[in-house]
A and B are shown apart, each in its own frame.
Chain A
Amino acid sequence: MYDSVVLGGGPAGLAAAIEAKRDGVEDILILERDRELGGILNQCIHNGFGLHTFGEQLTGPEYAERYIDQVHELGIPYYLDTMVLDIEDHGDFKRLHAISEENGYQTIDTKTIILTMGCRERTAGAIGIPGFRPSGIFTAGTAQRYINMEGFLTGKNIVILGSGDIGLIMARRMTLEGANVKAVCELMPYSNGLTRNIVQCLDDYDIPLKLSHTITFIKGKDRIESVIIQKVDENLKPIPGTEEEIPCDTLLLSVGLIPENEISRSAGIEIDNRTSGPIVTELRETSMPGVFAAGNVVQVHDLVDFVSQEAELAGKGVAKFIKDEINQDSGIETKVDQNLSYVVPQKVSLDNADDEITFYMRVRNVEENKKINAYLDGNKIATKRARKFLPAEMVNFTIKKSKFVDGAKELEFKLED
């Protein structure tokens, strides 16, 4: 019987396992479905990771290796190429069903589980681009893996739909490998990526960013030959007469990420429709006692540093759970107004929290000269100010525990003037 099994050896899983181990959890096992630990960081060879955690700019593999080294030092075992098929809840323990080429079919019993499966990319089908369905259409992440890890190019003339960070990073990456990136089209009137990535990935290479544009038709029966792009109006509907055809042999999609919760769902863990991730507490415990979750499986993060931070909370949570120190009675429910798309954690028990609690949320639209106020049962207890709130940038709102009063029921976040 393990104390804890971590589902996924990416940044969240690594940080959670390390934190749990440091907090005294003995028998931990990491299960990773890919060939190596590190998750998506392995293909993110660009720099910009770790500024908050290590105070320096690391590449993805470097950031991962710091955690992988700690996993080795702490002697935390892991299985690679291993897929978990099912989680069974047996009350005081959980049973995992997992398979791998090396170990065959395994059932693994554990007191706690940490869900760190990450997220996946939205596809052409999901966004429903009309036209043909030829080869040459890739999600940005798939192309990134091909180029950075496997050493293959997907094409020479590239159009990118969506200005998410992976799309921007890939625009530069493909340019450096000799491809011609013709345009990045973004449906919204603002970019969905970090401003620094627009500067260093597009502006540096004179790649046009076409805001309020989308692709309305894909041409090419066998391999993609061109796309029709069109301007959209304020309701995001294509404007007739603005069609422009761009010849290309590759279309990359960077149109959003979705937490991957197939296993969580089938295990009966409650999912928040706004985040598509499990409903979690301040220690990232899900609706199934003893099952914790962290990282992109809970909410899609912009920065790996915050993934690691969230995972540490889950690691701490597991340690407390094992020591039977968790107050399961999470008294406060959090909610947001219509200008904010979600808040994590969805439930808070003051007994379990440290001196302060950080809430993560996103605005729905670009907001200038606004602030976010936190109301505890209707009374304002804290304010978060920013020059600008962007949908692409997650808001971290930290509130001191001393601001809370015992017996409170509801914490609401509102965007206000």
Chain B
Amino acid sequence: MTYDIAIIGAGVAGSYIARECSRYKLKTVLIDGESDVGNQISMANSAIIHAGYDAPSDSLKGRFNAAGCLMYEKVCQDLDVPFKRCGSLVVAHDEFEMLTLHDLYQNGLRNGVPGMQILFQEEVHKLEPNLADDICGALYAPVAGVVSPFEMVAKLAENAVDNGVELKLDTIVESIESNDGYFTLGTNNGEIKSKIIVNAAGLYADDVYELIGEPYFELLARKGQYFIFDKEVGDTVENVIFPCPSKKGKGILVSPTVHGNLLIGPDANPTEKGDISTTQNELNFIKEAALKNVPKVGTMFGKIIRNYAGTRNTPIKTEFTTTDGDFIIEESPVKNLINVAGYESPGLTSIPAVSYYVMNDILLPILEREGIKVEENPDFNPKNKKHIYFKDLSEEEKIEVIKENPKYGKVICRCETITEGEIVDTIHRSAGAKSVKGVKKRCRAGMGRCQGGFCSPRVVEIIARELNIPVEEVNYDLNGKSYILTGETKK
């Protein structure tokens, strides 16, 4: 069969666009080379919903950021994803940085960011008592927020699949051919035919495009490293704290997470695609940089529970490229192939607005042009099945939930108080968890201070039981390659 739309890349962009497509009666397939959705850039980032004052107003980033930010509430409600508008502060240490704040404020107004305020010394410290004494002012943006990016992608993909999108994981696109009115995608998992392609392949979007088109953009992987702290110190700051931006980017931020941890990072250094290793020098640099705005962090290094790295995919200027730093969101020179590329920060924030644009301003006109009949999907349900976060329930609700399903009475992850009921639920949802990391991303089992020490054997057992596979075949992440156990003893 021939799909109407094949979306390459099941990160936040691909998954969101897939969900938009599922509002219509279209045959849509969402493809990813990983064994889970949202497993690369969408997984390891700052998890921040930016207010939108950074990007120039004449850029796509400037156009979509503030709009996307405002759309988050409703989307997270429908999808049942944790989201919190905690606010953000860009802090200034001297009068020159105050000048930068002024420029950001003006730019924010042009981009349509609501509610911004310039705060002076006393007000800043009243709002955030743990900030460095020498901070003399801040740009306050109350609309900024934090989200759970892994849950966001998982729930988007779930909703898309529930509304009729087909999901193909472990599927790497190796070739693209243009035939008469459709493309043929050669993959390790068989051929896929589709009339339209949306290339949302993240870090690899340039490589995917070059399978069929003449290169006109190039992506540079820039690695950013982070630390996550124990929830015990999660209330160190309430707002996302940014330093004053420089040419190198937004700088090392200190941020609460939506689940109550504290996060510091990221730096930005060019690297190879796929390199998500952390390195000692850069980790040390992040610690030092975080101290400048929040000196208290210096007393908390014993409360670090994990370090990690993620990559941005920055479009760079070379002799053949036509872009420099902005999102690439357009029908490409190859007809019926849409690039959603160079999709880095503020990509997570912008995606609700970007997806609307891709659907209404790019895809629907193409579909009409190509004579493909488009009808609304009368069964489209924007809401996901309610996720039970056991820990957050009231006593009465807990009693009720366990009565209905006793598996909610069995705590598997002690650190985060995650029950067996929640784990089983994430496994059986559409686009559900198939690996230990998949479970961790969706319901936080193993995300706490013991990092799965106690619960990972139990999670492995539950996955094996629920998927009806041998325990040895349960993976940490990528199918087959990230095995956990090598076999039974005494064999």
Contact = CB atoms under 8 A, between A and B. Distances in A.
Direct contact of A and B (CB under 8 A): yes
Interface of A: 33, 81, 83, 85, 97, 99-105, 120-121, 123-126, 128, 130-136, 139, 141-142, 145-147, 150-156, 177, 216-219, 221-223, 238, 249, 260, 262, 265
Interface string B200-236: 0000000000000000000000000001100010000
Contacts of B450: 120-121, 123
Contacts of A221: 274, 276
Contact of B482 (A102, A219, A222, A262): A222
B484 to A, nearest CB: 5
A82 to B, nearest CB: 9
Contacts of A104: 399, 402-403, 406, 409
B319 interface: no
B453 A141 contact: yes
The size bracket of the interface on B is 35 or more
Interface stretch (B81-89, B156-164, B470-478): B470-478
Contacts of A130: 277-280, 283, 307
B285 interface: no
B487 interface: yes
A141 to B, nearest CB: 7
Contacts of A126: 304-305, 449, 451
B482 A135 contact: yes
Interface in B396-435: 398-399, 402-403, 406-411, 414-415, 417, 419-420
A382 B410 CA distance: 50
A125 B305 contact: yes
Contacts, number: 138
Contact of A153 (B278, B436, B451, B487): B487
B365 interface: no
Contact of B490 (A83, A136, A151): A151
A85 B477 contact: no
Nearest to B478: A222
B42 interface: no
Interface string B220-262: 0000000110001000000000000000000000000000000
18 contacts: A99-B411, A101-B409, A102-B409, A105-B398, A123-B450, A124-B451, A125-B228, A125-B305, A128-B227, A130-B277, A135-B475, A139-B453, A142-B454, A142-B456, A153-B486, A153-B487, A238-B280, A260-B414
Contact of A151 (B278, B420, B454, B488): B488
Given A151-B488, A153-B488, A154-B485, A222 B477 contact: yes
B410 A101 contact: yes
Which of A133, A150, A265 has its CB near the most chain B CB atoms (within 10 A)?
A: A133
Given A132-B276, A142-B454, A146-B457, 17 more contacts: A81-B410, A85-B417, A99-B411, A101-B407, A120-B454, A125-B305, A131-B277, A135-B475, A139-B453, A141-B453, A142-B453, A152-B472, A152-B486, A153-B489, A216-B280, A221-B276, A262-B415
Given A125-B304, A152-B471, A152-B487, A97 B453 contact: no
Contact of B414 (A83, A102, A154): A83
Nearest to B479: A222
B448 to A, nearest CB: 9
Given A104-B406, A141-B453, A154 B484 contact: yes
B380 interface: no
A249 B415 CA distance: 27
Contacts of B102: none
B304 A135 contact: no
